[in-house]
Amino acid sequence: MEIRTPFALKILRAFMVAAVVASLGSCGVLGFIFSTPFPQTTVLAKAQADLSGVISSSSADSFNLKTVATGGYEYVMLIGPNGGVAYVYDTDLNLKKTLTNFGGNGLMVDTSGNIVLGSTEFSPDFSSSSTLTSGITVFSAGSTGVDGFVDSPTSQVADFGVNSNVLAYIPFPSGWIPSGSQVTVPLSSYLSNLTIDGIFEDASAGTVTFAISPSGNNSSTTTAYFFTVNRSGFTIPTNVLDSSSSRDHLVSASIGYAQGSIFAYDTSSSSFVQINPANGSTKNSFYSPTNDPSHLRFVYRVGGGSFYGFNKTTRILTKYAAWW
């Protein structure tokens, strides 16, 4: 039996880190690995893109990180405010497009299978585009997740927002002609000042999961409430949060979704946690004791396999392997 000494373990660890650095290439990867929010003994970084040359430190907080998949294409998108700019990457963080003047910061796939960004509809490969009918803008619902989704073969819902404790959204038939009426539903009889942390569409399950909190501050620690509804024939029960599961001590900017679970950073356990949205329980966790991830935005691929973090301080976008 081979017995490794502590010195040998240190050599082995150094070799493993060096191997990962070599596989990722240069560009200051070593420095990034040791400033990651994850433990140094577990290197999860798989690829990165440095946007410090195109995104200023003063504007970085205004960018949202999203994923979108349609027509055999899948993208990771960093979207600036008010339709100013969006950086479109493939899932390995190769830059595919830089988009400007698209009229908003919402993102979704519509009934035609096209990508809607702001008030502009793009083909799945971004080779063509057109302005939406009536100048409709799909506004961003939260810093992560989707901003709208298809709820039937000919209808979609978008323009989600919360005023106090009332959730509002607009149904749109195919072609993006407004239905003429906004739908409103009170989410709680006792919670107020609510904000949408994320709306997560799970196409394989035919469901949409909402994460909603009272804080309204994406860099704060909050109590998040979760509820799941059917995507087809989409409706939300009145006062749904009163009986929903919840979880305390979460950093709202870290909330994401993959493979039927909510993911977030829990400050009480200093861990990234995999949460069952049905009851708020922990399914898995990843200990990270010393780093506050509130300066990061996360997005998860719904099908799993990898997730992404945008560091608002360094303006570096990183792909991570799944840890759960």
What is residue 141's predicted lDDT score, i.e. its pLDDT? 74
Of 161, 162, 157, which Cα lies nearest the Cα of 173? 157
Least confidently predicted of 107-111, 140-144, 196-200: 140-144
109/69 Cα distance (integer angstroms): 8
Q: Position 220: which residue type? A: S
Confidence bin at 160 (pLDDT 50/70/90) = very high
Q: What is the largest CA-CA distance in the chain?
A: 74
Which two structure tokens, joined as six digits, stand for 14?
């150094």
Q: Which residues contact 56 (CB under 8 A, 6 or more apart)?
A: none
| Bridge partner residues of 175 (DSSP) | none
177/222 Cα distance (integer angstroms): 37
The Cα angle at residue 283 between residues 312 and 206, in degrees rounded to 5: 80
What is residue 252's predicted lDDT score, i.e. its pLDDT? 86
H-helix or E-strand spanning residue 122: strand 120-122
Q: What's the average model confidence in pLDDT over 43-55?
A: 90
Q: Does domain 35-321 have CATH number 1.10.3470?
A: no
Q: Are 121 and 114 in contact (CB under 8 A)?
A: yes
pLDDT tens track for 19-32: 443 344 333 333 33
DSSP structure class, residue 132? P
- Percent of the chain with pLDDT strictly greater than 70: 83
Q: Are 86 and 99 in contact (CB under 8 A)?
A: yes
Confidence bin at 221 (pLDDT 50/70/90) = confident
CB atoms within 10 A of CB 205: 14
CB atoms within 10 A of CB 306: 19
Residue 20 phi, psi (nearest 5): -65, -40
pTM: 0.85
Composition of the chain by helix, strand, coil, percent to 5: 10, 45, 45
Rg (alpha carbons) of the chain, rounded to whole number = 20
Select the more confidently predicted residue: 37 or 298: 298
DSSP structure class, residue 104? S
224/240 Cα distance (integer angstroms): 13
Q: Taking the mean position of all CA atoms in its chain, how far away is CA 65?
A: 6
Q: Position 228: which residue type? A: T
What is residue 175's predicted lDDT score, i.e. its pLDDT? 76
What is the residue extent of each domain of the chain? 1-34, 35-321
Q: Are 256 and 143 in contact (CB under 8 A)?
A: no
pLDDT at 103 over 70: yes
Confidence bin at 291 (pLDDT 50/70/90) = low
Which two structure tokens, joined as six digits, stand for 80?
């600036």
Which two structure tokens, joined as six digits, stand for 195?
């904000």
Q: Position 241: which residue type? A: L
Question: Residues 147-164, buried b or exposed e (16+ Cβ, 10 A)?
Answer: bbbbbeeebbbbbbbbee
66/75 Cα distance (integer angstroms): 8
CA distances from 322 to 131, 157, 173, 253 (A): 37, 30, 37, 18
Which two structure tokens, joined as six digits, stand for 183?
């739908």
Q: What's the average model confidence in pLDDT over 90-106?
A: 93
pLDDT tens track for 77-90: 999 988 889 999 99
Q: Position 263: which residue type? A: F
